[in-house]
């Protein structure tokens, strides 16, 4: 059960990051050509592969209890950050994440930029933008893959979830040749926030020496508790927002790119 939930959490989190990276790469490729954009993607993926290969074995030498305590704490911080923003978006206090708007903005910026070549790269701007998009979004993927995989003693299982997400998003992006605006990214981020917070709580408590009743099945209860609590906050904040309490975000607020 824990392995299934692990793959699901990694898949959803990596799918969100892959959508954001794909939006940048598509805007660059469509506006400036694909050769340099693909080169940037390839170098970014190579850098991420090296990081995973280096960190995965290194974490295997850390005692399991200490690893779960540290990883649990990090996932809890990471997950609560996602969940907080997802709650604010769902309740109307924060503008929804709009891939169409982000794609249009990246497209305009890419078309206005100059063109310079360096070494084997014809368009340095396209290369660096694609590289940065893949690397920055990918680092979050690496964090999730390495922490989940090392904590469960199965990095390949976490890589499977991440790889499946990246392939699925890439194939969908190529098929529609545009940003995946129809993907319910805000809903995905809410689900990922719930899962990361739940795993962080579960592993952090185990690392601190606690024993959950029902062993791994207790994780389902933790997930349910976190999800229900988050939904209650959404309902409460929606009521506050509808009353027009000062501090609510107007609908025209610029969209924040996570």
Q: Three-state SS string across the chain, please?
A: CHHHHHHHHHHHHHHHHHHHHHHHHHHHHHHHCHHHHHHHHHHHHHHHHHHHHHHHHHHCCCCHHHHHHHHHHHHHHHHHHHHHHHHHHHHCCCCCCCHHHHHHHHHHHHHHCCCCCECCECCHHHHHHHHHHHHHHHHHHHHHHHHHHHHHCCHHHHHHHHHHHHHHHHHHHHHHCCCCCCCCHHHHHHHHHHHHHHHHHHHHHHHCCCCCCCHHHHHHHHHHHHHHHHHHHHHHHHHHHHCCCCCCCCCCCCCCCC
Indicate whether 232 pLDDT > 50. yes
Most confident of 120-124, 133-137, 152-156: 133-137
What mean pLDDT value characterizes the chain?
A: 78
Question: For residue 195, what are its two tokens?
Answer: 């899962």
Q: What band does 214 get if pLDDT is binned at 50, 70 and 90?
A: confident
**Whole-prediction pTM value?**
0.65
Query: Could you tell me the pLDDT band of residue 225, with boundaries at 50, 70 and 90?
Result: very high
What pLDDT shows up at residue 233? Answer: 92
Closest CA to 20 of 126, 82, 77, 97: 97
50 or 251, greater pLDDT: 50
* Residue with more model confidence, 252 or 22: 22
The answer to whether residues 201 and 22 touch, using CB atoms and an 8 Å cutoff, is no
Q: Is the pLDDT of residue 256 over 60?
A: no
The answer, yes or no, to whether residue 1 has pLDDT greater than 70, is: no
Question: How do residues 19-66 score in pLDDT, each as one tens digit?
Answer: 878 888 888 887 777 888 889 999 988 988 888 777 766 666 667 677
Q: Which residues pair with 45 in a beta bridge?
A: none
Residue 251: the pLDDT is: 41
pLDDT of residue 254: 35
Q: What is the pLDDT of residue 252?
A: 36
């Amino acid at each position: 059960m824990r392995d299934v939930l692990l793959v699901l959490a990694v898949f959803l989190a990596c799918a969100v990051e892959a959508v954001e990276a794909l939006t940048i790469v598509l805007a660059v490729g469509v506006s400036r050509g694909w050769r340099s954009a693909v080169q940037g993607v390839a170098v970014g993926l190579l850098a991420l592969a090296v990081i995973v290969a280096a960190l995965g074995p290194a974490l295997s030498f850390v005692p399991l209890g200490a690893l779960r305590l540290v990883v649990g704490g990090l996932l809890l911080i990471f997950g609560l950050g996602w969940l907080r923003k997802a709650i604010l978006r769902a309740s109307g206090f924060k503008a929804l994440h709009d891939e169409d708007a982000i794609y249009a903005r990246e497209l305009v910026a890419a078309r206005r930029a100059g063109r310079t070549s360096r070494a084997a790269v014809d368009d340095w701007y396209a290369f660096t933008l694609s590289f940065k998009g893949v690397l920055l979004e990918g680092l979050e993927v690496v964090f999730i893959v390495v922490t989940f995989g090392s904590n469960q003693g199965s990095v390949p299982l976490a890589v499977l979830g991440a790889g499946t997400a990246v392939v699925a998003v890439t194939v969908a992006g190529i098929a529609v040749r545009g940003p995946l605006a129809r993907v319910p990214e805000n809903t995905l981020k809410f689900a990922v926030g719930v899962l990361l917070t739940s795993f962080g709580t579960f592993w952090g408590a185990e690392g601190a020496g606690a024993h959950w009743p029902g062993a791994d099945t207790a994780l389902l209860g933790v997930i349910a508790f976190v999800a229900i609590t988050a939904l209650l906050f959404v309902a409460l904040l929606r009521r506050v927002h509808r009353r027009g309490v000062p501090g609510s975000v107007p609908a025209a607020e610029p969209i924040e790119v996570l």
